[in-house]
């Protein structure tokens, strides 16, 4: 592993830990040249399905986009990053468990809404209002009544 600070090739592993779930290995490394420490994570490389958008175009599955959408809906809400990460993990697991090579963007939107409804009702309403393109107040009322 190359040192991110000085680009030296021979870094040493100082400590190795497995996550509680057993799906990630965390390694603390030290560079013998500059003596700085850094952390690396080892995860399985799994092929995620392509996302089929409403217009029929395809894009790579992008967890960062999902995260950004959720964080935007959760802006200034009392929800921890750990809760967001757990929700994203559940979405990721559902997408992988489907075994599909492609997933419609509408399915991802529904999964995000389900998770937001579970962790914060206000964020759920925020996300749903944009996702479902509400045109008037009556649509908001129906959504809030359903909650």
Q: What is the pLDDT of residues 61-106, one digit of tens each?
A: 898 999 999 999 999 999 999 999 999 999 998 998 888 899 999 8
Q: What's the domain range around 55?
A: 50-146
Strand segments, DSSP code E, in 1-147 are 12-18, 25-30, 37-42, 50-52, 58-59, 102-104
| End-to-end Cα spacing for the chain | 50
The pTM of this model reads 0.62
Q: Do 37 and 61 share a domain, yes or no? A: no
Q: Do 62 and 126 share a domain, yes or no? A: yes
Contact 13/21 with Cβ under 8 angstroms? no
Starting at the earlier edge strand, list the strands of the sheet with 58-59: 58-59, 50-52, 102-104
Q: Do 63 and 39 share a domain, yes or no? A: no
pLDDT beyond 80 at 42 = yes
Residues 6 or more apart whose CB falls under 8 angstroms from that of 95 comprise 48, 49, 61, 103, 108, 111
Contact 6/33 with Cβ under 8 angstroms? yes
Q: Do 101 and 125 share a domain, yes or no? A: yes
Whose CA is closest to 80, among 88, 41, 24? 88
Of the ranges 7-11, 28-32, 67-71, 123-127, which one carries the lowest mean pLDDT score? 123-127
- Among positive and negative, which fits the CA dihedral 42, 45, 46, 50? positive
Higher pLDDT among residues 115 and 126, named by residue: 115
Provide the domain count of the chain.
2
* Residue 92 DSSP SS3: helix
Q: Do 69 and 121 share a domain, yes or no? A: yes
Q: Do 41 and 56 share a domain, yes or no? A: no
Q: Do 99 and 37 share a domain, yes or no? A: no
Q: Do 109 and 70 share a domain, yes or no? A: yes
pLDDT value of position 12: 96
């Amino acid at each position: 592993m190359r040192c991110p600070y000085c680009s030296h090739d021979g870094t040493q592993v100082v400590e190795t830990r497995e996550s509680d779930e057993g799906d990630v290995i965390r390694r603390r490394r030290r560079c013998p040249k500059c003596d700085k420490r850094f952390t690396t994570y080892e995860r399985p490389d799994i092929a995620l399905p392509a996302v089929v958008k409403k217009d029929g175009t395809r894009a790579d599955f992008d967890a960062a986009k999902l995260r950004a959408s959720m964080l935007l809906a959760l802006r200034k809400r009392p929800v921890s990053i750990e809760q967001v990460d757990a929700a994203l993990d559940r979405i990721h697991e559902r997408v992988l468990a489907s075994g599909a090579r492609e997933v419609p963007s509408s399915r991802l939107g529904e999964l995000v809404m389900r998770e937001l409804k579970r962790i914060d009702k206000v964020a759920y309403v925020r996300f749903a209002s944009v996702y479902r393109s509400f045109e008037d107040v009556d649509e908001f009322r129906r959504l809030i009544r359903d909650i």
